[in-house]
Structure 1
Amino acid sequence: MRDADDATKEHWAFRHGHFFGRILGASTIDTDHCSVVAEARPSSNMTHHKIELTAHHLTRFASTNPLDAVSELIWNGLDADASRVTVTTEFDVLQSMSAIVVADNGEGIPFDQIVGRFKRLGDSWKRSSRLSKKQGRFLHGKDGQGRFKALSLGRVVGWTITYADGDQHFSYTARLIADDPTDLIISDAPEKTSRPTGVTVRVTELNPPTRALMNVDALNRIGEKFALYLNQYRDVEINFRGTLIRPETYIVSVEPFTLDPIVDGERTFAVEYDIVEWAVRSERRIYLCDAEGFPLAERNPRFHVPGLDFVGYIRSDYFAALAEQNLIDVDGLDSNVADILEQAKDLTKAFYRKRRVNDTRSVIQKWKEEKVYPYETEALTVAQETERQVFDLVAVSVKDHIQDYDALPATARRFNFELLRQVIERNPTELRSVLEHVIKLPENKLAELASLLEDVTLSNIIEASATVADRLTFVHGLGLGLTTTT
């Protein structure tokens, strides 16, 4: 573990690495490609253009987190019909991250349009179009704000832009400095070049939060944001710090659902919900997306679905409308968003319980074939059927918890299952005690059962209880989160 002195040195180097870069000839070490990269310097023939930005805009841009800022730069390349976007990081001689580079092979921006693109904040060309110009891919940005959010990454943001004019290619540079983000500095004129079209954005004099981009979680977060897009457009590649993001690496399955429409005044918005099961360990979150599935904001739902690594995508143009009003990140003010999130959470829990129940069927069938399953006849009443659902879920949880359970003799497993059946049937109030103290099921497994059994109708089981006392104490004794119904 690094000591506090090492951490202090790293922080100091991170803040002042650009100073040493100047002393050492303004060169940096690109560890992503194991080469030395000279820092691009603008020529003396540059023109300054004034951009009108309000204090509100500046505050919002500065507060953008690093992953969102990098994502915006990636989206800019994809919206420009890039088939490849690469994110790399550079490190100086002190091994402090000194630059973030996002490069694409898109169409670039014609020189005579660049000033207008920057000045028309909130009035991007994308606002009047839903598809990219050449490839016809769905567009993400509409407000022209992505390039300004790059200022949250570092003090200096430079663009090297190459575009085609007929059969010829031309290149020029642009630059923004956080000291005065209203001052856009652009080459006086483009230069003829043989380079392919595209945009390279290079951010230097980095802010400390950008260190989050080096975390392992950063790759998965980028994967979450772009996996559905990459799944839809298979000819597109995104490389994040040396790793090619492949949708099949992240996506196990996509389960689509339709939620209740949102009625806002005279307008009605359709709402779709996709539960994407993740192949990698992921923090559960739900993205609010436009109708095409582009994430606009995220929420972190708090509910218990053990063993399900998923990301939810709620798709509706209602969220796009909120984003245009800068209301998408404001929690608690929009009841429609709160209602839709509750619907999505309930549906996710129901999906998980149904899938878990389905997963137990093959296990139960195997037990029946081995003649260790304690029920030999079919259920005749709803109460009996519910009782068996409880048994199946509990028994499979016990099997998963006990190592090599299937290797036990059939007689031992039959005996254990019979005891468990007797507890559920005759003395259900002792079930939690048996699971916790005899079988020693851990608390997380008990909580998992609580989630799985939420939909069990207790009135059906209670009908099978022998006494009124059993009926009154069943819920309290079981203590696994079951709910009564009327």
Structure 2
Amino acid sequence: MTNSTVLKDSLAEAIVSDEIQLGGDGVKSILSAYSPQESIAEYIWNGFDAGATSIDISYEENELGSLRSITIADNGSGIPQGLLSVKFKPFHESEKALNKTDSRHHSLVHGKNGVGRLTFFTFANIARWTTVYEKNSKLYKYDIEIKSDDLHSYTGAHSPVSEIPYEHGTSTKVTFEGIRELSSGNIETTVKQYLLQEFCWFLELFKDKMFSISINGSPLDYREMIAGERDEKIIHDATSTRFDVKYIQWKKKLNKEFSRYYLIDSTGKENYKSTTLLNNKGDKFYHSVYIRSDYFDMFSYEDKIDYDQSTLQNKEQKFNSKRDEEFKYVISEINDYLRRMRSPHLQKMADDLVEKYEKENIIPEVNNSWEIPRNNELKTLIKDIYKIQPKIFGEGNSSIEQRKTFIHLLNALLDSNQRDQIYTIIDAVVRLDDQEQKQLADLLKVNKLNSIIQTIKMIQNRYTTIDALKEIVFNDSFNSREVDHVQKVLDHNFWVFGEEYNLVSSTEAKFEKALSEYLYILRGGKKQDVNMESPDKNKEMDLFLCRKSIENDRINNLVIELKRPAVLLGEKEVSQIKRYQRTIFSDSRFNGDNTYWDFVLVGNKFNESGYIEGEIDTNKGHGEKEKGLIFSKDNCKIYVRKWSDIFADVECRHKFIENELKTERDRLAIDYTNADEATERAIKK
């Protein structure tokens, strides 16, 4: 048969049309939504849909390093010229799109909307196909061409057709010229990564059939996408039906494929696929499950099986279906398995979320040690809610302010009698299923108990510290020292002087170092060395605490001078704390309109001179005589206090919680033999 005879026969069969019915001028806007990598993926899918097992992407560069051409070649069945008008069907009406059930439940019917042939518009000026197809046990080849500036037309229906040797096999090769927006670097990075995320699950599904994609002859290694994999065997005991299961977790989100399970028969053919129970939960748990069994050799995925039994060769055969106990069993086992595999993943994601929220200041700031248990409870609640339903936090779909509002609302409800409202709010954000509702209700109860337990433990530790500190300052036989005992305990427990402060410096810190730390706490950024001009800049403070109040933009500072128990407080000791006050007020960096200072001298007893008592009486008009106020002016106050007064304040702050939680304080009492033992006990975590 001559080539001209073949051409004549082909033209006689074909419904010849050189016009593509695009349905309006909006086609270019539709195509513009495709990125170059998405377009290349469409041509690869066209090859697989045509029965290809091997697809190679190749490119050529010119002398300037720009791309001269890109070619995508496959070993698929080709495009018979007589069917060209069907294959180049009106835009958005391809035969693939018409079979929606198959495309949803089978992987080899992928292309849609007839868009694949035109997507070259996004990165090239011309697309030329050379396709080889089989007819009557012979192979024929011809060319097709479309230009980006005339997408309505194509050549090919009247192109000359030539017969080629049969051993060459069927194939299609499409070459793109006039390349735009792509370089070899793009192909080896952006395009390659996109193809990994597009086809990794597919190449694993058909790995037994040796499906492959290569770029300039180098195979695309889809295993780069695998975060974890496991092989399992599931047996349905009642029927001894065996299922070989492979589970894969992917490192990144698959482009368009959901997390699914794939049912594969004994020949390696995919019979059915469907989304898993944990698909699209918003938790970045990307996975695929491949289930192989001869059970799927005769399997219908339709809910209602409709077939003619007379067509079955073996009358004992029957179609298996989703209603069978075997199928229900294996899916149930896989769902349980996925939940187990998801658990450590969710824990890490939840930990990362809380860490991120802390860096972004979404989680409320802790202003004092009383807030630590509630803050821990809030972070635990965030993690637990995330593990129940990650979508609640709307990562990627909400602003920082929206997330902060939601978290602060949770925190406010935890600190009230309206904890049950958390459930109502979350259910309004994202609808919870029955299991999620029960999990949330249970964790709210558990978190409340955990918060109480943490608070009790904190109070117990504090009573232990106070009892040890009392021994240090009141037991004369201990001969306690200021730095080794008193100050060492308070460096670790500065809450004794108030819940709201941050530690700036301790253990005899000089003023210049203290100022550096102070500025860092208030302003952030990088720590810097600072210089002071005061002659007393090398003096050393025992404790320097500060607190910045966000609500009223006020900075409260507290400087404490500690004296060992044997020292009796008098004018000499007061002059020292006043010298600290003068040194600080001599440097403007320590001061501002919103900055307030309290200086406190602490000891066991006053000396007999009456000096301190006189100073307190002189300043009683300021209304803080019981607190030992000896100086008050503008934003500065100086106090002299006894340890007995400090301990009384601590008792008052803790008393109401002690009564509420019924702490057994007597059980915590310990007899100490020396100051070192009491100190170690007080600072032990």
Question: Please, what TM-score do these two structures have when normalized by structure 2?
Answer: 0.36
Taking CA–CA contacts closer than 8 Å with sequence separation of 6 or more, which of the two structures ends up with the larger relative contact order?
1
